Structures are given as structure tokens and as C-alpha cells.
Structure 1
Amino acid sequence: MVFMFITAAVLAEICSALPLSGSIYIWAAESAGPKYARFFGFLVAWWSTTAWMTFTAGNCQSTANYIVSQLAVWEIDFPGGVGNENVKWRAMIWAISEGLLVVSIAINYLPPRWYSHVFKFTMALMMLDFFLNVIWLPIAVHNTYGFRSASDVFTQTYNGTGAPAGWNWILSFLFTAGTLTGFDASGHIAEETKNASVVAGRGILYSAFATGILGFATTILFLFCTPPLDQVFALDAPQPFVQIYALSLGKGPSIFMTVIATLGMIMNTSIAVVASSRLVFAVARDGVLPLSGWIGRVDSSGQPKNAVTVIFVFAAFLLCSILPSQVAFTSLVSAGGIPTIAAYGLIAMLRLFMTPDSFKTSHFYLGKFRKPFYLAAVLFNGLVFAVMISPFYFPVDAESFNFACVIFGAVTIFAIMSWYFTPASSWLRQEQVEQALRNTSGDAAPVEHDGSLGDHDDPK
């Protein structure tokens, strides 16, 4: 939590100074200074686009796992058996995932004035889920299999990875990686946010604080409410928590909790598409992507609907990898969080070494704390990055190899090639970077946006 908050503070500082759509790659470019701005801008543009677009497909498959886990709860036989080695099972997961993707994307075609209601409904749904887990679940556990002891919760370890004991413990970061990323989302919609230099940065901080504090409370609660480990590892559902609900609450109530979780994840995915579509739009608007002229357009209401369509096509295609191999899909999805973590650490490192005294106009300027914060963010995100590209099981063989490092490397190579072959006059010219740095260092007034996506907001 502490290092996640520090990372959020670093991002909020630069977001406040540069509140632009698709802002994370602009942050990286400006953090690098004029000489290396284009290179690091291209790098993070490819990283972040890959991460956010991959997240959409992964979230849909995770939501599908909640639904199909009810088969295990009600002990319904499935032809060929429940498991990823069964092609019929994978086909069902794929079909449900694609359907969930359609629903999540369709929400993004709603009129912009509806977005506020979507966000409010999503927050209400997630808080309902949280309070049901905080209140209902412990009561049910107390009346059924009982709580685990404090000794179990705080001292018991289990090595199911085959890794050395120390690294096995470090690998636990894999299960919190989803909450360690994504709080840069409010920066991606900054051009549609009033008073963005304050509100977007504050959104980064608030989302990190809410995730950390509520996530910590939920984690401790779940550790006390989880059945003994041997019973947990005997559960065969794709999403074992559905079976835990069934064991504690009963089969009927587990359906209700599954519906709440499924709706929450659908809405979560749709809101992630809002952020990722603005990122894709901004990258295309700056001419980095193929078909940039079409992708970078907005409709009559100022919404990047073409970028939403691109995300839909990419996610639908990525989900098709479930059919031949669940391992292939898992490897692709596991690579989704790595570029974001890498971008967080890279921005902090560039701020530490390249532009430590810039962005003084930020409403969240870190002052004398900036260098310790930059260093802490570099070290922490470096550790999480190492965990996410590490093998998950030891000894490593073809089946247990983590292809995330290969995918991340391939994306990085594409980014470097894109930087090399794109003329310097086409994107982030040096004089533009220098002007932006002057604006954010107190030599000129920073530009504020009026809350719409349009040509006048072009970061070029």
C-alpha cells in the first residue's frame, strides 16, 4: 500500500502538469527531456496500449469464470469434463467471454451524458459487493465451517510453486498485481474533465487510496474466512471463490453473489474501455498507429468511437486464442499488466535522473520529497516487474514457462522499430517538448482543457 501510494503520488504530480488524453506516454516523453522524449514516448505508447487493450479481453474471461463456476457448485456434469484440457469447455468459456465483451463494449456507445450514471451505478454495485462480503460472509462462515485462526492467517505459508521459500513469498505479488496498476486511468480522460489539472491528479490519488485501504481490509477478511488450505486446493471451479460462497452462504445465495460479481466486472470492463479508448485515440491522433487517421477521429459528440471499435476487434481476436490453448491465452493476458508496471517505474526513473526539477506548476508538486519518492517508485515497480516476468512454477519446462517476458520483449521491439522509422517531424518534435517543459516548469502558464476532445487539444 505504501509504495503504491508513492507511485500514485508520482503519477499525480506529472498528470496535474500534463492533463492530456493518453497522457501516460506524454508523461514519459516529457519526463525524459527534449533529447530522448520521442524514444521514450514511443516506448510507453506501445507498452500502455498493449496493456490496456489486453486487459479488456482478460477481464471478460475472468468474468466468464464466475459464471461457469456455478456448474461446479451444482455438480452439473459437462461433456468431456471441467478443465482447460477439454476443447468443449474452452469453447464454452470463449463463447461466454465474447458475449460479455459485446455487452461491455456496447455500454461505451451510449450517449456521453449517460456516463455519469454508469459510473455511479458501478460504484454503488461495487460498494454493495464490498459490504456484503464484510457483513454477510463472516456471519455465514461463523455459522458453517468457522474462521481460521490468527496463527493461520498471519504465519502459515504454503509453497505450491516449487520456488525457493523467499521467492515463493515474493510471488504473492502476482495476486495483487491487478490492484497495483490502472490508477493512471483518470489521466487518460483528462481532456474530458473540467479543471483537469486538479481533478485528474486527485482521481489518481483517490483511486490508489481507495484500492489500497479497502483492498487491505478485504484481504484480511478473506484470509480469516477462507476454508483450510487443503480444502481450498481441492476446489475444482475455475473461480474457486464461487465455491467458497457456496460452502459458507449456501448454493442459492452463491448465485446472488455471483451475479453481483459478474455485473460488477462487466461494468469494470466497460469503464476500463473508456480509459483505454482515450489512450488509443490519443496515440492514433499523434500518428503512431496504423490507420491513425481513422482511429484518431471523434464523432459529433466528441467521443472516440472508432478507438472503441478497435479495442473491440483486438479483444475479440485475442479471446480466440482460448480455443487452441488456454496456456497461450493466459500468457497473453499475464503480459497485460507488465507494460503498465514498467511504464510506472520508467516514468519515475526518468523524473529522478532526467527532469528532477521540472513540472513545478503541478498542483501536486512533491517538492523536497520528489527524489525519495521517485527512487522508491523505481525500486518497488522494478520488484513487481521482476515478479511478473518470473516463472510461476519451478522447475521450468515448456508448459510452465512464462511467455510474458517474450511478449513484452516483442512489444518493445515493435516500439523501437516504430520510433526508428517514423520521421521526427511527424511526432513530438524537439521544440514541442521544450515548449511543454517550459510550460510545466513555471516559465509559462500551463494549458487547461475545456472538457472535450477536439483538434485544439492536440498535444502536438
Structure 2
Amino acid sequence: MDNDEIFLEKLGYKQELKRELTSFSNFAVSFTIISILTGINSLFTFGLTNGGPVGLVWGWTLVALFSGLVSLSMAEICSAYPTSGGLYFWSAQLAGKQHAPVYSWITGWFNLIGQVATTAGIDFGLATFILNVIASNNSDFVPVAWHNLLLYLAILVIHGLLNTFANKIVKFLCDVSVWWHIFGTLIIVITVLAGAPSRESAGFVFTTFNKDPTAGLPSDAYIFFIGLLTAQYTFTGFDASAHMTEETKNAAVAGPVGIVLSVVISFVAGLFYIVGLLFAMPDITSTIQGGLPAIFANSVGQVGSNLLSVIVMGAMFFAGMSSLTANSRMMFAFARDGALPFSNVWHTINPDTKTPVASVWLGVLLCFVLGLPVLSDPVRALSSGVPVAFTAITSIAVIGLYISYVIPVFLRLTISRDRFVPGPFHLGKFSPVVGWISVLWVAFITVLFVLPTSLPNDLNSATFTWENNLNYTGPMVVFFTLLFMAWWAVDARRWFKGPKVIERSVSDMEFPKVVEQQPSQATVTSAI
């Protein structure tokens, strides 16, 4: 056995997945799921409405800073426990034997729900984007909700087939995706700036604040913080590098570096993309009405807009594919420890491809279920927006994932502050400061993103509707939390004991020599 397999056995698991990913491939998975061309395009007009250019530029920078701190805290723990279970395994180890079951249960379910919602949001967004591009080229075609659902299902099935039969192709496409995003961003920005009939000023891009005067929100500061959703939604999914560690060589270093670098490079590329779009856009009102295609068409016409849209669709396709990959690995690990119904089914490996095929298709099924609310009005035109129920379920991706991100960080700072054994990637004396800032930031955004995005003065007025004015994210988060905690209280606490290797104390863990010369803290910091 090589050093990675030896270390995995010391953590209590045998090597089942095929370990063939390089450090670059591990980073590529997280970078692809973050996908600036998916997150920014999906919520660019939302950001323009809630904060305008100031919210997009400086909100992006603010969120990237705090998301980077969260990623550093996670990377430190990943280096100590590089397993597919990732966050929920970390929580179990850091909580100690007595509290391991409940903490790993909570972390695992928040992470699973957030991952499924993220995959669903990406693929549903891709289906919507494709239909809107078709409609922009054919005035006689009016896409409706059931069209969206069928195309969404087709995309999910394609991603499922790729993850079932073409693991090497998925790895190759993840690597390609990095360059697709980087060069695609460059091509889009250069093209729209070169073709724009006029360009906005630097003062407009960096100092203009915009809001919807009909929203009734209490202050400009409130509006700015609500607009942070554009950036925060984009900076999700970087835990994928942790879930892929059992398939990565030199995992104790490659996994944590992949987590951090995916955030850093996404910040730089995303800021470049946002600033370029703001300089090239015609005006705020027409951009809000027409979305990103309005900026494309304004600069290069309809044919050019179609070509640029292909770049965006490719990026979204890669993001959905990689998200399903990471999702299936997490469910495989969760089922390995008996935490899912019918765990024996989902914890199976294809003997030829060495991939968790059953978990792949469980992910496809759960994502499709999240899309079913569109059938409440199957002939509703896409131009009027997707049903609010689906939007709310997708919105909990941010809250679900980030809660699961910081639970092990919190445990590292409290219960295990004196017995945590770091891996080769660690923050040294900065670990507590970075960790507590991360915990406080997640507490802040958890409250922030359940607040209403519009507040009509009169609840009885004709302009108020529960569908358009109520933020369903909070109720949905509470509902799912009560659901899996009720299961815990009634039944699961009797049989779920956390990861099946939790018998050993963290202090008894012996960290093997994973690389010939372990990098120092200064070396790791310099690499980042």
C-alpha cells in the first residue's frame, strides 16, 4: 500500500475508490463547482437591484475575504482527516466519542441537503438559460415550466451517465473546465468591452449604488447586505476537494490546497468578470430587464451573443457534472457509516469503474425531486420566473453548506482545542483567529439570507403577495432541520454511532509521513 492508503486505514477505512486524481484535478473539481460563470450569471441582475455596481464589486470582495477564511479553517481540518466523508467525519472526530454521533449526524445532513440543492440549482439554471437563448432567437417559441423540467431531467441524466460510465472523462472535463472558465471569462470580457458602443465610467462601476424603490427595504446598508447573496451563492461547493480526497494522490496536502486555491482564483477571475460586465453594460434598467444576454447583444449583436452564451452554458454544464460527482462521494461515505435509509444500497462500488454508481443516481433522483414544484403551474412562462418554492429550496444551499462548513471548525476551537493533531497543512498560531471569524461570518449570513428582500408598507395592499414577498428560505431551513432532528430523536440515536471508526480518540491518531518532506507552515502559506 502507498502512504495515502496507509493513512486512510489509520483513519479506519480501506481503500475502495480508485485513487487517480492529481492535485490539479482535485482543485479543478472545487473550482468548477464554484463556477463564477454560473453563480454570477444567475444572480447578476439580483445584485444590480440590491446594491448595484457597489454591491457587486465591493460585495464580491467582502464575501471572498470571509469565504477565504472559512476555506482556510476547513483546509486545516481536511489535512488531518482526508476522507470522502469530509465535514461529517471531521465533526465526529473533533466532538469526541461521546458527542460524535449527534454532531456528525447534524453536519452530514446539512451538508447533504446543501449539496443536493446546489446541484439542482446549477442544472435547473442551465436548463432555464438554454431555453431563454432559444427563445431569444425564435420569437414564436415561448418556453414554459414543463419544458424546463424535461430539459432539466435530460441534463441530470447526462451528468449521471458521465459519472457512471466515464470517470476518466469526468476527470478530464474537470481539468478542461478550469481553462474553460479562465479563458471563457477573458473572451467574454474582452469581447463585450471591445464591442460596446459606449462604456461606463470608473466612477459608475466602483461608486454607484442602486436599489429598487418599490421594495420598501429599511436602509441602503440592509440592501447592500441582502445583495451579498450574488457572491455568497457563487462561493459554495469548495468542500468538494475534501470529498474527493480518497481518490486523490498525496491527499493530506492536495485536498486542503485545492479548497483554498479554488476560492482565491475564483475571487480574482470573478472580480475581473464583474468589473468587465459593468463597464460594458448599456444601463442598469435595461440590464435588469434583459439579464446578461442584454449586455452580450448590446456589444456584439444576436449572433455574437449566442456564441458567448455557449461559453456560459459550457461552464454551467461542467459545474453541474462536478457537483454531482462530489455529491455522490459524500452520500457514499454517509451510507458507508449507515446514516442513510437503505445504506447498503447506496454504499456500493462498481467493480469496473471503482465509482459509487448507486449514490450517483440517488443524487440524480433527489435533484429531480427538487425540480418537481414547477408542475404546480406547468404552463407558466419562464419569463415570469420559476416557482418560489423551488427558488427557496435552492436558496438553502448557501445556508445548508456553510453551516456544515463551520460546525467542525467550531468543534476544533472548543471541544478539541487541546487535542487536535494537525496535518501537514496548518495555520499555526493564526488558527483560532481565523476559525472564530469564520464561525461569526457564517452565523451572520445564516440570519441575513432568511430576511425578506421586500417589505411592502401594507400587508393588505394589492401589491403584496405571499409568493412574491415572503422569503421561504427560513421556513424551509427550519422544516428540514426539524425533519432530520426528529428522525434522530425518535429512531436514529439508537443505532447511528457516527463514523464506524470513532472508537479511537483523536489524541491516539498517529499521522503518517504522507510526503517525503512535509512542507512547513511558511511553505504552505507561500504556495497559497
Q: TM-score range by the shorter chain?
A: 0.7 to 0.9
Q: Is the 8 A contact 1:147 1:224 kept in 2?
A: yes
The corresponding residue for 1:398 is 466
Please, which runs of 5 or more residues in structure 1 have no aligned partner?
80-87, 450-460
2-structure distance, mates of 1:448, 1:434? 23
* CA distance in 2 between partners of 1:290 and 1:447 (Å): 37
Q: Tell me if the contact between 2:277 and 2:295 (Cα under 8 Å) persists in the aligned partners.
A: no
Distance 1:381 1:266, change over 3 A: same
Instruction: Report what 2:357 is aligned to.
Output: 305
1:327 aligns with 2:393: no
* Corresponding letter in the other structure for 1:11: M
C-alpha contact 2:70 2:405 (8 A) present in aligned 1: yes
Normalised to the residue count of structure 2, the TM-score between the two structures is 0.77
Q: 1:35 is paired with a residue of what secondary structure?
A: helix
- Residue 446 of structure 1 and its aligned partner are, at CA, apart by 5.0
Give, in angstroms, the shift of residue 423 of structure 1. Answer: 4.7
Structure 2 residue matching 1:336: 3-state secondary structure = helix
Partner of 2:243 in structure 1? 188
Q: Which amino acid aligns with 1:385?
A: T
| SS of structure 2 residue aligned to 1:250 | helix
Asked if the contact 1:13–1:366 (Cα under 8 Å) also holds between the matched residues in 2, the reply is yes
Q: What is the match of residue 201 of structure 2?
A: 149
**1:232-247 equivalences in 2 (<5 Å):** 232-235=287-290, 240-247=291-298
Between the aligned partners of 1:428 and 1:71, the Cα distance in structure 2 is: 48
Deviations 1:367-407 (A, max 9, x none): 21111111110121222222222212223751221211122
Alignment of 1:18 onto 2:81 = yes
Distance 1:343 1:114 in 2: 30
Judge conservation of contact 1:119–1:271 (CA < 8 Å) in 2.
Answer: yes
For 1:65-76, list aligned pairs within 5 A: 65-71=128-134, 73-74=136-137, 76=139
Instruction: State the 1:448 CA deviation.
Output: 6.9
Map 1:360-399 onto structure 2 (within 5 A). Answer: 360-395=421-456, 398-399=466-467
1:94 aligned partner: 149
Partner of residue 408, structure 2: 347
Shift in Å at residue 154 of structure 1?
1.8
Mean alpha-carbon deviation: is it higher for 189-198 or for 339-348? 339-348
- How far apart are the structure 1 equivalents of 2:424 and 2:360? 31
- CA distance in 2 between counterparts of 1:71 and 1:101 reads 20
3-state secondary structure, aligned to 1:288:
coil
* Equivalent position of 1:445 in the other structure: 511
Q: Which secondary structure state, in structure 2, belongs to the residue aligned with residue 33 of structure 1?
A: helix
Give a deviation string over 1:128-150, Cα, whole Å, max 9, x none: 31121232221112xx2x11122
Residues 93, 347 of structure 1: alpha-carbon distance in 2 compared, 3 angstrom cutoff: same
Partner residue, 1:84: none
The 5-angstrom pairing of residues 59-138 of structure 1 reads 59-71=122-134, 73-74=136-137, 76-78=139-141, 89-138=144-193
Equivalent positions of 1:248-259 (< 5 A) are: 248-259=299-310
Within 2, Cα distance between the matches of 1:384 and 1:223? 26
Partners in 2 of 1:219 and 1:34 — Cα distance? 47
State how far apart, in whole Å, the 1-side matches of 2:501 and 2:158 are: 40
- Aligned residue for 1:339, secondary structure, equals helix
On the 8 A contact 1:197/1:363 being kept in 2, the answer is yes
State the one-letter code of the partner of 2:270.
Answer: G
- Taking the aligned partners of 1:172 and 1:192, their CA distance within structure 2 comes to 37
Which residue is 2:65 aligned to? 2
CA contact (8 A) 2:192 2:295 kept: no
Given that 1:42 and 1:418 are in contact with CA atoms closer than 8 Å, whether structure 2 keeps it comes out as: no
Which stretches of structure 1, 4 residues or more, deviate above 4 A after TM superposition?
A: 423-426, 446-449
Aligned-partner SS, 2:345: helix
Distance 1:409 1:446, change over 3 A: farther
Which of 260, 274, 294 aligns to 2:311? It is 260
Q: 1:399-419: per-residue Cα shift (whole Å, max 9, x none)?
A: 221211122112222332333
Q: 1:357 to 1:5 in 2, by over 3 A?
A: farther
Check conservation: 1:49, 1:276, Cα contact below 8 A: yes
Instruction: Give the CA deviation at 1:32.
Output: 2.6
Show the counterpart of 2:265: 210
Kindly provide the amino acid, as one letter, of the partner of residue 408 in structure 2.
I
Q: Give CA deviations for 1:336-376 in whole Å, capped at 9, x if unaligned.
A: 22111112233332222222234333112222111111111
Report the CA distance between 1:246 and its aligned residue: 1.2
2:254 aligned residue: 199
How many residues align? The count is 430
- SS of the residue aligned with 1:392? coil
- Partner Cα distance (2:429, 2:478) in 1: 36
TM-score (structure 1 length as normaliser): 0.88
Helix, strand or coil for the counterpart of 1:170?
helix
Q: CA shift at 1:426, angstroms?
A: 4.2
Read off the aligned partner of 1:14 and give its amino acid letter: I
Structure-1 residue corresponding to 2:32: none
Question: Cα deviations across residues 71-93 of structure 1 (Å, max 9, x unaligned)?
Answer: 553461445xxxxxxxx611122
Q: Is the 8 A contact 2:421 2:507 kept in 1?
A: no
Q: How many angstroms does 1:334 deviate by?
A: 1.2
Could you give the per-residue CA deviations for residues 168-195 of structure 1, whole angstroms, max 9, x where no partner exists? Answer: 0101111112222211101001111111
Q: Is the 8 A contact 2:97 2:505 kept in 1?
A: no
